[in-house]
Amino acid sequence: GQNIDQPTEMTATEGAIVQINCTYQTSGFNGLFWYQQHAGEAPTFLSYNVLDGLEEKGRFSSFLSRSKGYSYLLLKELQMKDSASYLCAVTDSNYQLIWGAGTKLIIKP
Amino acid sequence: DTAVSQTPKYLVTQMGNDKSIKCEQNLGHDTMYWYKQDSKKFLKIMFSYNNKELIINETVPNRFSPKSPDKAHLNLHINSLELGDSAVYFCASSQGTGDYNEQFFGPGTRLTVL
């Protein structure tokens, strides 16, 4: 079966750094997405990785290791507005997007 | 100039009723999706259409019927609503169905079945 694992919830402090991990077992791999979803809102695109390595975009970076079936989202200089759920999703060999259950990130002052 | 829009935003109805949710995208995308997000926040794909043709039909009750009159619209009709249908339903669209299929989501429709 296909499976994506993320921690259910994480807590971090404003101004700090947090890393949200995602491991996947899918039938094939054609890319990995990270989405952000604030409570009561729609998911919005954050990043895309298809090759191994780190993709940096401002305060957010995403890393991929295809051999390990592993990715992480790194959030620096945390702000209160970063409190949200972070969804990891993988495109499989049929080009279907398989979603993780999301990690709820709580930022404390 | 909303990219993906859904109506209604909130829908409260009684068990056994039939209801529809409409979705429109003005991004010129070829592929549209319907997702269900339950109280546990898990996002589950229900249907996917590419150029008005069904390409994904996950295991959902046949009380749910999607309809795509053109590639900019994908509506969801639900018959004989049940309590377990209460959830947030998201419509989304993407340029295609290849590897980089970034999806753009509508604001969601919160359905409450009483």
Q: Average per-residue pLDDT in chain B?
A: 91
Query: Tens-of-pLDDT digits for all 109 residues of chain A?
Result: 789 999 999 999 999 999 999 999 998 999 999 999 999 999 999 999 999 999 999 999 999 999 999 999 999 999 999 999 999 999 988 888 889 999 999 999 9
Average pLDDT over residues B16-24: 97
Rounded (to 5) percent helix, strand, coil in chain A: 5, 55, 40
pLDDT in tens, B33-71: 999 998 877 888 999 988 878 877 777 889 999 999 998
Asked if residues A33 and A88 have their Cβ atoms less than 8 Å apart, the reply is: yes
Q: What pLDDT score was predicted for residue A13? A: 97
Q: How far does the CA of residue B11 sit from the closest CA of chain A (Å)?
A: 15
Residue B1 has pLDDT above 70, yes or no: no
Sort out which chain B residues have CB atoms less than 8 A from A86's CB and list them.
Answer: none
Mutation pick from B49, B91, B101, B104 vs chain A, by most beta carbons of A within 10 Å, is B101
Q: Are A85 and A105 in contact (CB under 8 A)?
A: yes
